[in-house]
């Protein structure tokens, strides 16, 4: 790229900068995202607004293009890395400034499965949407989920699996929750490449989420429904 084509981020007005950040996020340009986040903060933007407009907004476009087969996993990961870098700057500020809180989620990859790329994307997007996320990592036995639910009392339990050999374990967790009489205390969302809606229904989950963006939207809908029920009750 020639010097004439170089964009000086600090010289863009707010609207242009937000659009540029969405482009940079799409291209996975981590240093540019970090610089732009700092510029917006210096201009007096609320951390929550920086998070939602350029970052979550940009990542939503990445998610849609992934779903449509325009982007592939490597590009999504680069974009996620860039967003994560931006969020790392914003996180302490969000705590200080008191961002809106949508709800909370315990999430983890099931026992026997070490794949966490999809789960990590969901965690990041859920945090971006204002959820508190307790991430249990990989290879979680039913006890890990139960202990975390007992300790954190989340609104949502999220389970992820990449392997057809491990996804049946989600049913083990849900059946244990039923046996303990706590199934209806939680919204249970499941996801992972080999899953589908039919599987989600068959194991007794509340919903199957095919990607991170759908997980966020589904979580928001269930939380809204829960609040409506509480208001009606």
Binding site for other proteins (CB under 8 A): 72-75, 77-78, 81, 112-117, 138-139, 163-165, 167, 194-196, 199
| Residue number, 81 or 104, with CB nearest to other proteins | 81
Q: Which residues are CB-contacts of 192 (< 8 A; sequence separation ≥ 6)?
A: 115, 118, 160, 161, 162, 167
| Residue number, 18 or 209, with CB nearest to other proteins | 209
| Residue number, 44 or 69, with CB nearest to other proteins | 69
Query: CB of 166: closest distance to other proteins in angstroms?
Result: 8
Query: CB of 113: closest distance to other proteins in angstroms?
Result: 7
Report the largest interatomic distance among the alpha carbons of the chain, rounded to a whole angstrom: 66
Query: CB of 112: closest distance to other proteins in angstroms?
Result: 5
Query: CB of 110: closest distance to other proteins in angstroms?
Result: 11
Q: How far apart are CA 161 and CA 61, in angstroms?
A: 24
| Residue number, 139 or 147, with CB nearest to other proteins | 139
- Number of neighbours of residue 164 by Cβ within 10 angstroms: 12
Query: CB of 75: closest distance to other proteins in angstroms?
Result: 7
| Residue number, 57 or 112, with CB nearest to other proteins | 112
Measured in degrees and rounded to the nearest 5, phi and psi for residue 53 equal -70, -65
Query: CB of 139: closest distance to other proteins in angstroms?
Result: 7
Integer angstrom CA distances of residue 36 from 14, 28, 124: 10, 13, 19
| Residue number, 75 or 132, with CB nearest to other proteins | 75
């Amino acid at each position: 790229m020639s010097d004439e084509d170089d964009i000086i981020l600090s010289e863009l007005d707010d609207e242009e900068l937000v659009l540029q950040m969405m482009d940079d996020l799409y291209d996975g340009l981590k240093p540019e995202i970090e610089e732009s986040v700092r510029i917006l903060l210096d201009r007096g933007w609320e951390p929550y607004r920086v998070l939602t407009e350029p970052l979550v907004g940009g990542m939503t476009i990445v998610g849609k293009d992934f779903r449509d087969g325009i982007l592939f996993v490597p590009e999504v990961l680069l974009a996620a890395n860039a967003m994560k870098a931006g969020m790392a700057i914003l996180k302490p500020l969000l705590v200080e400034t008191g961002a809106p809180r949508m709800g909370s989620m315990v999430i983890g990859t099931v026992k026997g499965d070490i794949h966490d790329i999809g789960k990590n994307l969901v965690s990041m997007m859920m945090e971006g949407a204002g959820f508190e996320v307790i991430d249990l990592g990989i290879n979680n036995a039913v006890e890990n989920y139960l202990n975390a639910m007992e300790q954190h009392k989340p609104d949502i339990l999220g389970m992820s699996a990449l392997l057809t050999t491990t996804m049946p374990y989600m049913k083990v967790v849900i059946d244990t929750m039923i046996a303990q009489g706590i199934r209806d205390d939680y919204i249970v969302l499941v996801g992972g490449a080999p899953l589908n809606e039919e599987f989600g229904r068959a194991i007794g989950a509340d919903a199957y989420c095919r990607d991170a963006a759908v997980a966020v939207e589904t979580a928001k809908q269930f939380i809204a429904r829960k609040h409506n029920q509480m208001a009606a009750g």
